[in-house]
Amino acid sequence: MKALKWFLPIWRANKWRMTAIVTLGMASAVFSNMAPLFIRSIIDGLRKDISYHLIGKYIILIIGLGLARYAVNYFAQINRVWMNQHIEMTVRSRVFRHLMHMDRVFFHRFTQGDLLTRLTDDVNEKIAWFGCSGVFRFIQALWTLAAAVSFMLYLNPAMTFWAMLPMPFLFLAYVTMGRRMDKLYEAVQNSITALYETLDACFSAIRLVKANGKESCQSETFARATERQKKAEIDSVVLQAFFSSIFNYVGYLCLFVVFLTGGRMVIQGTLTLGELVAFMFYVNMIIGPLSDISYFFISLKRAEVSIGRMEDILKSRSAVQEPRVPRQTPRAVKELTFEDVSFSPGPKAGLILKHVSFSAKAGHRVAVVGKIGSGKSILLSLIPRLIEPEGGRIAVNGEDIREFRLAELRSRIGYVPQEAVIFSATIRQNITLGRETSEEEFARAMETAQFAGEIPQFEKGLDTVCGPRGVTLSGGQKQRLAIARAILSRPDILLLDDCTSAMDAQTEEQLWNGLYRSMPDTLCLVSTHRIKTIETSPLILTLDSGALAEAGTHNELMARKGLYRSIYERQKLADEVHQRSSSGERSA
Amino acid sequence: MRFDSDEDSKDKINYRKTGGRLLKLLATRRAEFISALLLLSLSSITWLANPVLVRHMLDHNLPQKDYKGLITTLAVFLVNGLAYLFFTYRMQVRLEYLAQSMLIELKQNLVNHLLGLHLGWFDKTPVGKISARVQSDTDSMHNMFTGASVTIIRNAFILFGGLGIMIAFNLKLALVTLVIVPPLLIMARIFVRKSTPRFLKWRKVAAEMSGFIGEQLQGIAATQAYNRQEDTAGRLEEINDRKFKIILHAETLVVAFFLAAYFCEPLVTSLILGVGGHWAIQGKITIGVLIMFIMYMEQFIDPLMSLSEQISQIQRSFAAAERIFNIMDTKPAITDPPKPHYLARLEHNIEFRNVWLRYAEEAPWALKDVSFTVKRGERLAIVGETGGGKTTVISALFRFYPVQKGEILFDGMPLNNLAQSSLRSMLGLVQQDIYLFPGTMMDNLRLMDTSIPESRVHDAIRSAGLDEFFTRHALSKVISEKGGNLSQGERQVVSIVRAMVMDPPVIVFDEATASVDPHTERIIQSATERLFADRTCVVIAHRLSTIRNAEQILVIGDGEIRERGTHAGLMEQDGIYARYFQLQFGQGGGAHEGA
């Protein structure tokens, strides 16, 4: 019953609505069970010379009850729908909000597709529906059952016993079948997932398949996978058909028992014809609630699984935490230091950043170089505290950055990741991201980021919408937008993770000139391959497999004839070759 | 959650044409279809018999105090009930088999057709969409076959059958009860008209929600770096709120409609008991008949109401079928010539003669006047910067894309005259992007071709000198999730062994550029050399050893051949190749590294 406990707070918060649902449910149960009584009266009356007038009265009562039932059910259901949606909204909001504060390690543990499924499917179908309709239809079914049994007892206790006799078996059958149904249902889902995997693999690799002429093999593989789905679905349908037969069979059996014993009693005179007919109606009325009651146990199980999946997320903690007693963030950043900083992505993984120490001053540019996977991006991500170091500390003006309020720290940092993030919004909104800014500042950021020149080519200029339903920016444009975004609020620390790859050398030079002009005191950390940028940086950090191999100025490092030198020379040659082969030497 | 066909097609559905094609699927299964139909009718008939039996009991057995008669009637009732259940069960199972059989045929045909399409088509179609066509579109048709269409037929049976029986017993009362039908149908029609736009809105907002969440999950780094968490959460709530209102708006209509339809039940009962009761007092009709009428009418309401839902289900299925048939109608652009030639092996050479290729009419030329010859047993190494045309040479060689000008010749035979199967068995491809299929390592090594005996795979492993490697990596290891559990090095090894297993006379090899640890690097190099031995090789090369040992080297840039020759000759020229070589391998000629 863990699932029910989980919903309690939401129910309690809406207690008036829930009370209405329960009360309306009770009323509906009573109303729907009264009609057979009137039918009984009419039938018995017909055997004894009833007047038109009296029939008319009963008719009005039946119609009246029908209307009352309509009204009551309408409000009950509308409220249930309202509650279902409310639960859906509340749960989704809560989980999403929690997600917003998780660190990168969390997002490696849960894939995006998985999280999306949890926030949509699990919430919609399994949790939200169950949270109100699932539980309260069950309760209403109990009321209906109780009302029906009460009325039947009122009519004839002995008949009631006979009529209800097969019911427990029905209930049991439903529950056991239900469990098996779940298993078969799961098998169907798995077979469908496998099919999608097969299709995905086959058509992603279509070039390879065609090149080797293995089309027929893929066809056979697919045939096997569909065979599996077919089998699973047939098994499922067979059980379902069998089960619904049993279900209907018990209904038949009940009627048979009622007619047999009741018929006998009518013949003997201990039961009227009308009462027999009434019992027939009651038996038909009970089948529905019984199925609702049994379905409750099945959907309970499914809801529990989904709730577990939500709790998985809600119970996760981010490694990045707010300080208990935050310190005042310094007015200006004078120095950034890394003291023996290490990072590990998980308890079983090793260190991918190892004992890095360096110190940088305001107004300086620090170039970070190294092979792919040497830890450059990690180093940069640690500064805005997108991830937490395993060991060591990062300090601004001598104070550990963990002591500052997270939001304040981040507002002083401009971060441009390797893959620029573009949201479905206008270009302007993508740059401001909701921050208040003046027109001058905005224009300045656009100019400096070398992005202003790109705007005229868009029909609506800055109000052009980006994203799947709008324009797709080129790689270079995305990078410049991200840079404009970063420098908009004049950050104290600017982090650029290999974001000038789509710029030519001249544009990049203009970028740096602009940055120096408008933000001379900003501390920049740049991960880059650009020779010119690296050469002219006051501090160069050379990373090798997560460790800081060399640090110093260009001249110092060249003199050492170590890793930096080889990287530098290689890059220089690459630049030359590219220039050469793309500019000259066209064959005659 | 599946990549569902959220394409609300605005195109009109050609029911006749699509229906005709679907019927063809049924044509080969006439026997099963007829037996299903038979079971359906039997199921309906037995169902219809019940109220008649009850009527008999109420009008004859009980008033006449005939206990024996009662038992007989009830015995028939029970048997009839069992028969009903039996026929219904058999019908459902039979239908499922039938539907599955049809769908599998459809799916298989679709997949086979897709496998025959040219690469140009695949360039334009994302894999997700293909999967949706094959799987979720056929699934939606499944509902139509076993659900909607059957239900409609069955309901029609019961409606008309029941009506017939009612008329037989009392025409006047039957006509009276029919009064309820027009209002119900009108109500259903109004419901469909009003609810469709609301449901459309619902689907749209649901898609918006998914899109928003997906996008935010991807951009979480930026959101956190710029302190937009609260803001973003607020925007989710805004969408949530909108969704809430839209759903409520739609559901209110649904609830109102369905409850109104259920209100018909007491209404009809009152009608029958009122008017019928009137006549019963006059002795014109019996109680049993009244009850019988009520029993039939109760069962008519559901079918009439769900008619609209079933019709829209059928609409969706037809739309899905049309999408599938559209693909079936797409013809492959690259086909065998009418009288294809077959080459068992390469005797002399492969020649590119003044080849010009571009991927589309308006696209720039990807290959410009490319000419070269590869002799049998020779190794040709192709080098150049990314996007310069190296991969295009391979695409042309495999006839993945047509050549616009010039010719490609195998032993003097033009490529276009060769049967594709012959071409593909003569050429083997080892790509940079290594694709893995769900299955075991063994299966992957033989490219899922179970006709290749395992011994051949073992031989290939031995020839490549990779015995030790595969003792550490079991052949029975199951590859998961597109090979997420394999490292770069392991993947490269897999692709080399695959080529060994296929054992083609000509190897086309696109060397991987990703770096691996020195040990694996050595194993791969050695295996690659063994693969190249005694074969004609066209290699897009990145490794020093591969290039050095090539009989011919082509430097391709911007679609043209810039330089050609042997390694020594090109170094002497001191051109692009010489610079490139220096850059990649430095003075010492060690393994390459990126900057």
Q: What is the pLDDT along chain B (595 residues), one digit of tens a residue?
A: 233 444 544 456 788 888 888 888 888 888 988 999 999 999 999 999 999 999 999 999 888 888 899 999 999 999 999 999 999 999 999 999 999 999 999 999 999 999 999 988 888 888 878 888 888 888 888 888 888 888 888 888 998 999 999 999 999 999 988 888 888 888 888 888 888 889 889 888 988 888 899 889 888 989 999 999 999 999 999 999 999 999 999 999 989 988 888 888 888 889 898 888 888 888 888 889 999 999 998 888 878 777 777 877 888 888 889 889 999 999 998 888 888 899 888 888 999 999 999 988 888 889 999 999 999 999 999 988 766 788 899 999 999 999 999 999 999 999 999 999 899 989 988 887 778 888 888 998 998 898 999 999 999 999 888 888 888 778 888 876 666 667 777 788 888 999 999 989 999 998 876 666 777 788 888 888 888 888 999 999 877 778 888 999 998 888 888 899 998 898 888 888 887 777 666 654 444 443 3
Express each pLDDT in A377-394 by its tens digit: 899 999 999 999 989 999
- Residues of chain B contacting A202 with CB distance shorter than 8 Å: 115, 437
Q: Is the pLDDT of residue A420 over 50?
A: yes
Residue numbers of A between 284 and 313 with CB closer than 8 Å to B:
none
In chain B, what are the domain boundaries? 15-328, 349-590
Cross-chain Cβ contact B228/A77 below 8 Å? no
Distance from CA of A370 to the nearest CA of B (A): 7
The residues, any chain, with a CB within 8 Å of residue B441's CB and separated by 6 or more, are B473, B474, B475, B476, B477, B478, B479, B494
A279-327 pLDDT, tens digit per residue, is: 999 988 888 888 788 788 878 888 888 888 889 899 998 888 888 888 8
Mutation site for A-interface testing, chosen from B109, B220, B289, B393 by largest number of A Cβ within 10 Å: B220
Query: Domain spanning B15-328: which CATH class is it, in words?
Result: mainly alpha
Contact B373, B451 (CB under 8 A): no
- B560 and A586 within 8 Å at the Cβ level: the answer is yes
Report the gap between the CA of A394 and the closest CA in chain B (Å): 17
Could you give the CA distance from residue B99 to residue B89 in angstroms, rounded to a whole number?
A: 15
A254 interfacial to chain B (CB closer than 8 Å):
no
The dihedral built from the CA positions of residue A134, A138, A140 and A141, taken in this order, carries a sign that is: positive
Of residues B74, B131, B221, nearest to A259 (C-beta): B74
Work out the average pLDDT over A146-174: 86
Tens of pLDDT, residue by residue over A536-561, are 999 999 998 889 999 999 999 999 98
The contacts of residue B580 (CB under 8 Å, 6+ apart) are A577, B383, B555
Q: Which residue of A has its CA nearest to B237?
A: A93
Chain A partners within 8 Å of B448 (Cβ): 214, 217-218, 220-221
pLDDT tens digit string along A208-262? 899 888 899 999 999 999 999 999 999 988 988 888 888 788 888 888 999 999 9
In the sheet that holds A335-343, the strands lie side by side as A399-400, A391-396, A335-343, A353-361, A547-552, A539-544, A365-370, A523-527, A493-497, A413-416
Q: Which residue of A has its CA nearest to B283?
A: A46
* Residue contact A386–B429, C-beta within 8 A: no
A407/B contact by beta carbon, under 8 A: yes
Scanning every residue of chain B, which has its alpha carbon at the shortest distance from the alpha carbon of A421?
Answer: B219
At residue A574, the pLDDT reads: 67
For A123-141, how does the pLDDT look when each residue is reduced to its tens digit (9 = 90+)?
A: 877 888 888 888 888 998 9
Average pLDDT, chain A: 87
Question: Which of A92, A259, A407 faces B240 most closely, judged by CB atoms?
Answer: A92
pLDDT of residue A297: 80
* Angstrom distance (rounded) from CA A197 to CA B478: 14
Taking the CA of residue A340 and the nearest CA in chain B, the distance in Å comes to 24
Determine the residue of chain B that is closest to A35 in CA distance. B266
Q: How far is B130 from chain A, CA to nearest CA, in Å?
A: 8
Give the integer Cα–Cα distance in Å for B131 and B518: 40
pLDDT averaged over chain B?
A: 86
Partner residue opposite A212 with nearest CB, options B92, B127, B447: B447
For residue A565, is pLDDT > 90? no
- Distance in Å, alpha carbon of B240 to nearest chain A alpha carbon: 6
Predicted pLDDT at A445: 93
Nearest to A573 among B66, B224, B583 (CB): B583
pLDDT value of position B589: 41
Could you give the CA distance from residue A285 to residue A151 in angstroms, rounded to a whole number?
A: 12
Nearest CA of chain B to the CA of A312: how many Å?
Answer: 17
Pair A265, A155: CB distance under 8 Å: no
Minimum distance, in Å, between the CA of residue A233 and any CA atom of chain B: 8
> A25, A79 in Cβ contact below 8 A?
no
Radius of gyration from C-alpha coordinates of chain B = 36
Backbone Cα Rg of chain A: 36
Asked if A252 contacts B85 with a C-beta cutoff of 8 angstroms, the reply is yes
Question: What is the token pair recorded at A544?
Answer: 């090798």
Which positions in chain A touch B227 (Cβ < 8 Å)? 407, 410-411
Question: Is the CB of B215 less than 8 angstroms away from the CB of A417?
Answer: no
Tell me, yes or no, if A73 comes closer than 8 A to chain B by beta carbon: yes
Query: Which residue of B111, B205, B253 is the best one to mutate when testing the A interface, meaning the one whose CB has the most A CBs within 10 A?
Result: B111
Q: Do B233 and A571 touch (CB under 8 A)?
A: no
pLDDT beyond 70 at A469: no
Question: Which one of A216, A259, A271 makes the best mutation probe of the B interface by having the most chain B beta carbons within 10 Å?
Answer: A259
Cα–Cα distance, B580 to B584 (Å, whole number): 6
How far is the alpha carbon of A218 from chain B, nearest alpha carbon, in Å?
A: 7
Of A201, A226, A413, the CB nearest to B437: A201
Closest listed residue to residue A31, CA positions, set A144, A176, A191: A144
Q: What is the mean pLDDT of residues A428-433?
A: 92
Question: A443 CB near a chain B CB, below 8 Å?
Answer: no
Q: Which of residues 172-211 of A touch B (CB under 8 A)?
A: 192, 194-211
pLDDT at position B241, please? 94
Select from B112, B145, B334, B437 the residue whose CB has the most chain A CBs within 10 Å, as the one to mutate to test that interface. B437
Q: State whether residue A588 sits within 8 Å of chain B by CB.
A: no
Do the Cβ atoms of A386 and B78 come within 8 Å? no
Length of chain B in terms of residues written: 595
Assess contact for B595 and A529: CB atoms under 8 A.
Answer: yes
User: Are B452 and B500 within 8 A, CB to CB?
Assistant: no
Nearest CA to CA, how far is B443 from chain A (Å)? 11
Say which residue the tokens 């090149």 belong to: A211
**B588–chain A nearest CA distance, Å:** 12
Nearest CA in chain B to A281: B295
**In the structure encoding, which two tokens stand for residue A12, read together?**
């309690």
| Class of B349-590 in CATH | alpha beta
Please state, in angstroms and rounded to a whole number, the distance separating the CA atoms of residues B512 and A121.
40
| Size of the A and B interface in Cβ pairs below 8 Å | 382
Please state the rounded mean pLDDT for residues A409-431. Answer: 90
CA separation, residue B53 to residues A19, A545, B83, B157 (Å): 45, 86, 14, 19
User: Is B232–A100 a contact, with Cβ atoms under 8 angstroms apart?
Assistant: yes
Query: Packing angle between helix B287-329 and helix B229-271, nearest 10 degrees?
Result: 140
Taking CA–CA distances from B504, the nearest residue in chain A reads A212
Inter-chain touch A92–B71, beta carbons under 8 Å: no
Asked if B277 and A424 come within 8 Å (Cβ–Cβ), the reply is: no
Q: Is A301 exposed, middle or buried (0-12, 13-18, 19+ CB in 10 A)?
A: middle
| Cβ-Cβ contacts under 8 Å, A43 against chain B | 287, 291
The answer to whether A584 contacts chain B (CB < 8 Å) is: no
Which of A85, A203, A276 comes nearest B244 by C-beta? A85
Distance (Å, rounded) from C-alpha A545 to C-alpha B94? 63
Chain A residue with Cα closest to B216: A423
Beta-bridged to residue B356, according to DSSP, are B405
Would you call A417 and B281 a contact, using CB atoms and an 8 Å cutoff?
no
pLDDT (0 to 100) of residue B5: 42
Chain A residue nearest residue B578, CA to CA? A577
Burial class (CB in 10 A: 0-12, 13-18, 19+), A289: buried
Residue B193 tokens read as 């008209």
**Share above pLDDT 70 across residues of chain A, in percent, rounded to a whole number:** 97
B349-590 shares the fold of B15-328:
no
Instruction: Assess contact for A122 and A310: CB atoms under 8 A.
Output: yes
Touching check for A280 and chain B: CB below 8 Å? yes
Residue of chain A whose alpha carbon sits nearest to that of B420: A213
B36 CA: distance to closest CA in chain A (Å): 15
